[in-house]
Each structure stands twice: as structure tokens, then as C-alpha cells.
A and B are shown apart, each in its own frame.
Chain A
Amino acid sequence: MAIAKIAYGRRAFIKNVAYGGGGMMIGFSWLASCELSPEQVKKMPKEWFTINGYLKIGENGLVTIQSPNPEIGQNVKTSMPMIVAEELDTDWDHVIVEQAPLNTDLFKRQLAGGSQSIRQGWQSLRMAGATARQMLILAAAQTWEVPASEITTAAGMIYHEASGKKTDYGAMASIAATIPVPEEVELKEVKDFKIIGTSRKNVDGSKIVTGKPLFGIDYKKEAMLTAMVVHPPAFGLKLKSMDDSPIKNMPGIRAVFPIQTHVEGYNIGAFDMNAFNDLAVIVGDSTWEVMQAKKALQVTWEDTTDQVLNMDMFGRKMDVRFPAGKENTSTHQQIMETMGAKKAKTVRKDGNPDAAFRNASKIIERSYSCPFLAHNTMEPMNFFADVTEDQATLVGPIQTPEIMERSVSNRLGIPVEKIDIQMTRMGGGFGRRLYGHFLTEAAVISQQMKAPVKLIYSREDDMTQGTYRPAYHAYYRAALDADNNLIGFHVRAGGIPESPLAANRFPAGAIDNYWAEEWTVDSNITVGAFRAPRSNFIAGAEQAFLDEVAEAAGKDPIEFRLSLLDKAKQQPVGDNNDYDAARYAGVLELVKEKAHTNNDPNVFRGIAAYFCHNSYVANVLDMVMEKGKPVVQKVYCAIDCGIVVNPDAATNLAEGGVVDGIGHAMYSAITFNNGVPEQNNFDKYRLIRHDEAPKEIEVHFVKNEIDPTGLGEPPFPPIMGALANALYRATGRRHYNQPFITDKPLMG
């Protein structure tokens, strides 16, 4: 039994700063209208007793648990409360889950990003459950006049064995609510977990399959207007003027005006990033009417000039350059090839790489690239805003509510205490909704209209406004000695406008002579974090390159990696290696065991493994040729992300990562012609579809007792390498440039 001091989110455990003792949560009138079925209402308690900021218990034993973080499809709305319920030691069937309000006093890091929700919430969620359990025990001890140490709990019941007394949590809730918060609590041993590690269904599942209004875009309020924005058609252009005369008298149109999202002097932060600050706005009664007016609006654009924004990047001031001009994909490709061929900034150097390459018997040299990508969440950007003189209510899909709260407060001139941001379920995030300019836009529009407004982006607006995954390039060189030992490794990676290099990750530490360089080139095309930022390219490139090196060395691809990892384990080179070689090897061993040896000459196998966002993933991808076309028959995925909270949901997330990785590597790209994104909807932007997904995906987790490390991102990057490697075996061609569907094979 572990005794832990309450150190996380201390204020969350102080009663009365939480929502009021009785009563249901306020807000979400429209979204909450379908929260409970009549059956559930019957089961609802007469009174709720707030135990702490995370949970309240009804007199009938029902428990309401607040899920603090935004839900983007990673299933935290189920798995975070599971952790609370585990330590509370209640029955999962007694639990109702609610999306917590944004409250930075109560909750720590109400953010969806970096695969961090479970990892960073782990301790405070356990504490929330454990302190409540302790308070219930103390309440029973007081009532029964027995020592608390003799009391046990199980599945929402409280027992005193010696006297034979027992009761349930509901009966003790009112007393527990009056007990001082304990300074220390006992946390369960992993072996005693009854909820964590068992599969529990999505708490919103039945609402999703019956079409209940869960998403921001579904939100409604009486007298609400609909707004859309018009942004420049190309990067390198900005709004000059607009003529509202053709549309202002169109049916259902209320107002047409320009806005500035950020105003002069505002300290722009990383998550305020927007490509088009000046926008034309159309406000009307209904979406279709506004869409019609949008087509007819006359706007004049002008060229931008070179811009330097002094941005606040997570507390560090940085100049970010947005050069003038209209960029082209063909030019980007040339730039990347040029940069990849010349010396860049050295980030890490071990041993003497020059000598290793001079003395090599064999040198393998390859370059890889990938295009810009749009996040394309299925629910386009949108936000509801109701801004009055002195307060603002904002409802919608946002991954960074606590950051945007400060941002919008600054923009509106309304104190942060008077800003209420309510989190809705999100129709996908993938990093896109970290950047909340659309929330600020909605607020500015509502302030100007003096009315509640819902801003909606059309798919075209959404896909052409930037915040893309950057275009990346990586040049690799490997030196083999006469015995085919890997004696030198060189990576030079860069991108527009950001480098994907992770210099201290594998194979750094496994090779005596190692050299990593990076470069960047500015662009006026805005970029943002996209599921597993940087790793989402460099993993696939590196794993495809290692496959070629293994082949040149005449070694099995898994054994080749394992021998490098063994070296990193036994005699690591350098002391900055940011991975655990044993856990890395562990996922390769697991996937090797599960996939067995492939003896079928018609099955072509690709291998890859990667470590990012604190977790380890290895893939085996089996491909077959059907009617001359490569088909992914089966993917084996082995993952070490520590303790798995909700195995079936984790499996689902990993399956999605696999499909997502294959899809983007194979099919997707945003390209530019004279600054104009050439794909603006799903007719031109190709996303993976049903028939292109693997026929079967098998996910295995390494079983250990390591605190959870994160799962949203790690399964996404390595599969791209496994795909490239399987394609080579199936077709004889190596693919170097994503998307592979349009890649011109350079060799093979």
C-alpha cells in the first residue's frame, strides 16, 4: 500500500470551492437536455454531497465524477473517471460521468495534447478517489465508534469485520462531506485494481449512436445567430477591402463587417497562431443563408509584406517570420532538396562520424520527404459565443480552454473571472484545436453583434486556413564496415518552417559515430502540432532507412534493431539518450512473438518501431497483392505505454493510429500553387477510406506496473515506416516521398 501526500491540485480537495453541494451542474442547457434517460432520472439521488472537486455522492450511493480534460476522441471522458472510481473503490455501474467545467483553481492542466491527459492526471485522479474513500471510512469510523484502520471498502460498500457492521457509500456521504480533507491517503497496489485494466465502454456511446447533441457545432441558444468568416484565398494575401452591397439585403443576412482577431500590441501566444488575422464576417439567421451570402460577397485582397511576430512561445519570446510572397509546392521541394544537401546546424555529434564514413566499406544514402497536411477534424472549426458588456460565455470544441480563456479575456477586455468556457465533446482534435483563433473570432463577432453567435467554418474554410503539419525532409547516411557493422550514422533533417529532428532518440546512443544536423526555412504558411508532431514524419523516414541499412548489411530487420538496442542498453554512447533501450526492445520482442515468423511467400512484411510521447510502439505490417494492388492484410501492434487504464478503448485508439498513419503516408497532402492550397475539400484531399484500411489489426500491450505514459500519439508515427517497408517487399520499390500514392519511385 502506498501512502501518498496530497500534492496535486490541492484546492480541488477543499470543499465549497467546488460546485454547490446539492443540485446538478449549471450550464449546458441545450447539451444537457438529453443527458439522462428517464430510467437514469429514476435512479438519481434526492441529494448530492460534494466530497471534493472531482466527485459527489448521492444518498443512494450514485457517484458523479467530473472528467477534467477535453474529450477529442481519445476517450479520456471514460478513462479519467475510471481512475477516480478505482481509488474511490466504487462499482463502475454506480458512476455518472460529467464533463468538468473549466476551473483552473480546481483542476490541473485541462488540456488535450501531447498524449498527456492520463499521464499528468494519473496522480491527481487517484488522489481524488482515494481521499474521498478515506473520508467515507472516517465517516463510518465516527458513526460506528470503531478505529478507521479496521474498516475496509469494496465496490461502494463499507465494512467493519469485527462488529459485522456494513453500510454503503450513499449512507455515509452526508457525513463524509463534513470530514476534514486528510493530509495523506492510501493508494491501491496495482494488483488490487478492479476497474483500471478492465474494459469499460465509452460513457457517451449511447448518445453518440442516437445522435444526441454532444458537439460544439450542435450547440444552440435562443436568438442565436450564425456567423461565417471569409479569409484570403491564398497565403501571402490579406484583406484590403470588402463590398457588402451585393449581400447585405439578401434574405436572413443581419450584418457584414471586417474583424481583426488580434489587435495591435497583443502579446500573441503559441496557441493564438492564425494565418489570416483580418477577416470578413457575415452574420445571419441560418447557416444556408449565410453560405449563400458568402459566395456573393465581394472582397479585395492585397499582398502581405514580410512579417515578424514576436510570439510568446510557452514563456519564451521568439521572433517568428512570415515572409511575403505566394509559395509553391514545387519550390518547397527544391528548397528541401537543396537544404538536405548542404551542411546544417549540428545538434549532436558522437565519436568521429567523418572518419567512420571515410573508412566505410559501404555507404547508404537516402532522402525522405512529406507534404503539408491539414488536420481535417470531421467536425469543422466552430464556436459559440455570447458576449455582453461585462461577461462572456463560450461553448465549443477547444483543446486548450485554460489558455484560450486568458487570450480571449485580453482581446475582449473582460476579466478572466467573467469568461466562462464550456467544453463540448470534440469531433476530432489531432492538435488542430490547440489553436483557438476561431474561439476568439466568435467572441469578437458576438461582442460586435451584441448577440449570441455561433461561428462555423465551412469545410473549405477549415482546410485552407493553415495550421498545417509542416513539410519535412530528412537526409540519412549510414556507414557499414567490412563485417557489415553499422559504424556511422548521419541524419540531416529540416522542414518548412520547422525541423522534425529528435537528435537524442534512437539510434543515437546505439552507434559510436553519430551526427545529427537540422535546418529550417521560413514560410507564410502557418503550421501547428499535428498528432505526434515531428515524429509523424521522422519515425517513418528513419524506420524506412534502417530497413535499407539492415538489408544492405544482410540482417533481419527485427534482429538488426534489437542488436543496436542491445548496444544502447549495454554500452550506451553519450548520456543524453532520451529513450529506454530495454522497453524499446521489449515492444520489438513482443511484436515478433505475436506476429510469428512469416513463411508465406505471398505475404510481404514490413517492420518498424518508434518511441515518442513517452511510449514505445512496434509494428509488423503484412501486405498481399490483390489484382496487382498492394493490400494491407494485417497489422500487429505492440505497445508499451505503462499501465493500460481501459484496454479495449486503448486498443481502439491504437487501431485508429494505425489506420491514420497508413492513410496519411499513403494518400494525403496539401499542395500549393501561387499560395493557394490546391485541396479544399474531400474530393481533392484524399483521406483513407473503409476499403483501404487494414483487414485486421491486432494490438498487444506490454504488461508492467509503470504509471501510464500516453497513447494518443505513439501508435501513429511508426506504422508509416512499416508501410514503406512492406511496400518495398511487395512491389520491389522503395518509397521516399509521401504520399506514396503519388510518389515517383527514385530507384528499385
Chain B
Amino acid sequence: MAKYSLNVNGVQREVDVDPTTPVLWVLRDHLDLVGTKYGCGIAQCGACTVHLNDTAVRSCQLPVSAVGNQALTTIEGLSEHGDHPVQQAWIEKDVPQCGYCQAGQIMSASALLKSNPNPSDEEIDAVMHGNICRCGTYTRIKAAIKTAANS
């Protein structure tokens, strides 16, 4: 076990966990931030996507010991009032069906738009390829990303 001080959603949080513990489980089990979802544990589904600084990463593959002083942002911290343009676009397009993968989709999409404010269809596909939606809301997700890009 080891103590870590993590910058999560702009707040320093202390945890005492095994250094190999993935950020996913630190968030879910130790910090009560369960918006970040477990889907596969091997970085194949994207449900656990968070931002490390401004980059989308799969938190199931990111050991807590590797975070250091870098800023972690989860779905709970993407915006203060749930009004990030991507979140708003998701509501406008009424994207979710079951909703389980959507936090990861939103975190991937918001990181994409930060680095590329007007992505082409191909650029959206290339980034979003890593996020599985089992309900098949892909066409709505793409529409919502374009709505957010235009807002």
C-alpha cells in the first residue's frame, strides 16, 4: 500500500492503495466517483475513459502510481453544472439508451473537440472507434459531436 495525493476534478484527494491499482478502481472504490465505468479492464471498450491533463486515457490501464501531479478529470468534473457543450449536445440529441457507456463516449468526444474543434467524420470515427456502445447509438453520438463542435 502507498499513499497518493491525486488532483481529481480540481480537488486534491488522498488515497492509500496498492501502487498497481488502476485509476478506474481508485475512482470507483476509493473516491466514490462511479461515473467512470468498468467495461472490459483491458482498454478495449472505452467505458472507463477519463482525461489525464487534456488527453483521453483508459483509466483501467492507468496505475495510480503513474498519475503524479497530472490533473485527472472524470465525467463528474467535466463541467460544474453538467452543461459542457458535449453534455448539452448529448441531451439535445437524446443519445443514451442504457447509458452505461456514455460517460466514456462523452470523455472521448470532449477530448477530441478540445484538440480538434471541427473534426471530419473520419477523424470522429478514428477517435471514437475505441468506445463501444452495445445499444448501437453510434449515429446519434456522431450527430451530437457535430452539434457540440458547432456550438
Interface residues of A in 636-651 (CB under 8 A from B): 648-649
* A251:B18 contact, CB within 8 angstroms: yes
By a CB distance below 8 angstroms, the chain B residues around A211 are 33-36, 74-76, 103
* A649:B137 contact, CB within 8 angstroms: no
Q: Is A223 an interface residue (CB 8 A)?
A: no
18 A-B pairs in the complex with CB atoms less than 8 angstroms apart: A72-B98, A205-B96, A208-B90, A210-B87, A211-B35, A212-B35, A286-B25, A287-B38, A430-B134, A655-B136, A655-B140, A663-B136, A682-B39, A682-B45, A689-B138, A691-B128, A693-B139, A694-B139
A377–B132 alpha-carbon span in the complex (Å): 11
Q: Pick from A377, A429, A681: contact of B42, CB below 8 A.
A: A681
* B106:A209 contact, CB within 8 angstroms: yes
Q: Is B94 an interface residue (CB 8 A)?
A: yes
* B91:A660 contact, CB within 8 angstroms: no
A468–B51 alpha-carbon span in the complex (Å): 35
Known: A210-B87, A251-B18, A682-B132. A378 touches B138 (CB 8 A): no
* B136:A688 contact, CB within 8 angstroms: yes
Q: Which residue of A lies closest to B103 (CB)?
A: A211
A696–B1 alpha-carbon span in the complex (Å): 50
By a CB distance below 8 angstroms, the chain B residues around A657 are 136
**With A208-B90, A208-B102 already in contact, 8 other A-B pairs whose C-beta atoms are closer than 8 Å:** A73-B97, A378-B47, A378-B134, A428-B98, A655-B139, A659-B137, A690-B141, A695-B121
* A287:B100 contact, CB within 8 angstroms: no
Interface of B is mostly: loop
Choose the segment among A214-222, A356-364, A504-512 that binds chain B (4+ C-beta atoms closer than 8 Å). A214-222
Q: Pick from B22, B42, B128: contact of A690, CB below 8 A.
A: B128
By a CB distance below 8 angstroms, the chain A residues around B20 are 288, 292
* A286:B30 contact, CB within 8 angstroms: yes
A199–B126 alpha-carbon span in the complex (Å): 32
Q: Is A427 an interface residue (CB 8 A)?
A: yes
* A425:B29 contact, CB within 8 angstroms: no
CB distance from B90 to the nearest CB of A (A): 5
By a CB distance below 8 angstroms, the chain A residues around B119 are none
A208–B37 alpha-carbon span in the complex (Å): 12
* A656:B97 contact, CB within 8 angstroms: yes
Between A217, A287, A429, the greatest number of chain B beta carbons within 10 A of the residue's beta carbon is seen for A287
By a CB distance below 8 angstroms, the chain A residues around B106 are 209
* A202:B94 contact, CB within 8 angstroms: yes
A432–B17 alpha-carbon span in the complex (Å): 34
Per-position binary interface string of chain B over residues 85-101, scored 1 when its CB falls under 8 Å from any chain A CB and 0 otherwise: 00100110011111111
By a CB distance below 8 angstroms, the chain A residues around B103 are 208-209, 211
Q: Pick from B74, B87, B135, B137: contact of A209, CB below 8 A.
A: B87
* A655:B132 contact, CB within 8 angstroms: no
A286–B39 alpha-carbon span in the complex (Å): 17
* B139:A427 contact, CB within 8 angstroms: no
Q: B interface, how many residues as a size bin?
A: 35 or more
Q: Pick from A378, A653, A656: contact of B101, CB below 8 A.
A: A378
A653–B87 alpha-carbon span in the complex (Å): 20
* A378:B125 contact, CB within 8 angstroms: no
* B76:A690 contact, CB within 8 angstroms: no
By a CB distance below 8 angstroms, the chain B residues around A689 are 128-129, 131-132, 138
Interface residues of A in 577-602 (CB under 8 A from B): none
Q: Pick from B34, B39, B124: contact of A213, CB below 8 A.
A: B34
By a CB distance below 8 angstroms, the chain A residues around B124 are 690
A287–B28 alpha-carbon span in the complex (Å): 9
Q: Is B44 an interface residue (CB 8 A)?
A: yes
* B44:A682 contact, CB within 8 angstroms: yes
Q: Is A194 an interface residue (CB 8 A)?
A: no
Q: Which residue of B lies closest to A658 (CB)?
A: B136
Q: Pick from A204, A379, A690: contact of B37, CB below 8 A.
A: A379
CB distance from B83 to the nearest CB of A (A): 9
Q: Which residue of B lies closest to A646 (CB)?
A: B94
Q: Which residue of B lies closest to A430 (CB)?
A: B134
Per-position binary interface string of chain B over residues 1-16, scored 1 when its CB falls under 8 Å from any chain A CB and 0 otherwise: 1000000000000000
Per-position binary interface string of chain A over residues 688-716, scored 1 when its CB falls under 8 Å from any chain B CB and 0 otherwise: 11110111110000000000000000000
Q: Which residue of B lies closest to A214 (CB)?
A: B99
A287–B47 alpha-carbon span in the complex (Å): 17
A648–B140 alpha-carbon span in the complex (Å): 11
A15–B87 alpha-carbon span in the complex (Å): 40
Per-position binary interface string of chain A over residues 347-391, scored 1 when its CB falls under 8 Å from any chain B CB and 0 otherwise: 000000000000000000000000000001111100000000000
Known: A209-B82, A681-B42, A690-B124. A659 touches B18 (CB 8 A): no
* A210:B129 contact, CB within 8 angstroms: no
CB distance from B144 to the nearest CB of A (A): 10
Q: Pick from B97, B128, B131: contact of A75, CB below 8 A.
A: B97
Known: A428-B134, A690-B125, A690-B128. A682 touches B42 (CB 8 A): yes
* B139:A459 contact, CB within 8 angstroms: no
Q: Which residue of A lies closest to B44 (CB)?
A: A682
CB distance from A622 to the nearest CB of B (A): 14
Per-position binary interface string of chain A over residues 65-84, scored 1 when its CB falls under 8 Å from any chain B CB and 0 otherwise: 00000001111000000000
A215–B74 alpha-carbon span in the complex (Å): 17
Known: A289-B18, A681-B42, A682-B44. A378 touches B34 (CB 8 A): no
Per-position binary interface string of chain A over residues 420-455, scored 1 when its CB falls under 8 Å from any chain B CB and 0 otherwise: 000001111110000000000000000000000000
Q: Is A683 an interface residue (CB 8 A)?
A: yes
* B134:A210 contact, CB within 8 angstroms: no
A109–B129 alpha-carbon span in the complex (Å): 39
* A659:B29 contact, CB within 8 angstroms: no
CB distance from A250 to the nearest CB of B (A): 10
* A690:B131 contact, CB within 8 angstroms: yes
A682–B42 alpha-carbon span in the complex (Å): 8
* B136:A205 contact, CB within 8 angstroms: no
CB distance from B134 to the nearest CB of A (A): 5
Nearest 3 CB-CB pairings of A with B: A211-B35, A659-B136, A427-B100
Q: Which residue of B lies closest to A206 (CB)?
A: B82
Q: Which residue of B lies closest to A72 (CB)?
A: B98
A398–B99 alpha-carbon span in the complex (Å): 16
By a CB distance below 8 angstroms, the chain A residues around B75 are 209-211
Q: Is A277 an interface residue (CB 8 A)?
A: no
By a CB distance below 8 angstroms, the chain B residues around A5 are none
* A459:B138 contact, CB within 8 angstroms: no
Q: Which residue of B lies closest to A458 (CB)?
A: B41
Per-position binary interface string of chain A over residues 654-689, scored 1 when its CB falls under 8 Å from any chain B CB and 0 otherwise: 011111100100000000000000000111000111
Q: Is A226 an interface residue (CB 8 A)?
A: yes
By a CB distance below 8 angstroms, the chain B residues around A73 are 96-99, 135
A171–B123 alpha-carbon span in the complex (Å): 56
* B41:A459 contact, CB within 8 angstroms: yes
* B137:A656 contact, CB within 8 angstroms: yes
By a CB distance below 8 angstroms, the chain B residues around A656 are 97, 135-137
A693–B101 alpha-carbon span in the complex (Å): 16
Known: A208-B102, A217-B38, A378-B37. A74 touches B97 (CB 8 A): yes
Q: Pick from A204, A220, A456, A687: contact of B99, CB below 8 A.
A: A204
By a CB distance below 8 angstroms, the chain B residues around A649 are 94
By a CB distance below 8 angstroms, the chain A residues around B136 are 655-660, 663, 688, 693
By a CB distance below 8 angstroms, the chain B residues around A687 are 132, 134
Q: Which residue of B lies closest to A460 (CB)?
A: B41
* A210:B76 contact, CB within 8 angstroms: yes
CB distance from A339 to the nearest CB of B (A): 32
By a CB distance below 8 angstroms, the chain B residues around A378 are 37, 39, 45, 47, 98, 100-101, 132-134
Q: Is A305 an interface residue (CB 8 A)?
A: no
CB distance from B99 to the nearest CB of A (A): 4
A73–B36 alpha-carbon span in the complex (Å): 18
* A226:B91 contact, CB within 8 angstroms: no
* A379:B100 contact, CB within 8 angstroms: yes
Between A456, A649, A688, the greatest number of chain B beta carbons within 10 A of the residue's beta carbon is seen for A688
Per-position binary interface string of chain A over residues 166-200, scored 1 when its CB falls under 8 Å from any chain B CB and 0 otherwise: 00000000000000000000000000000000010
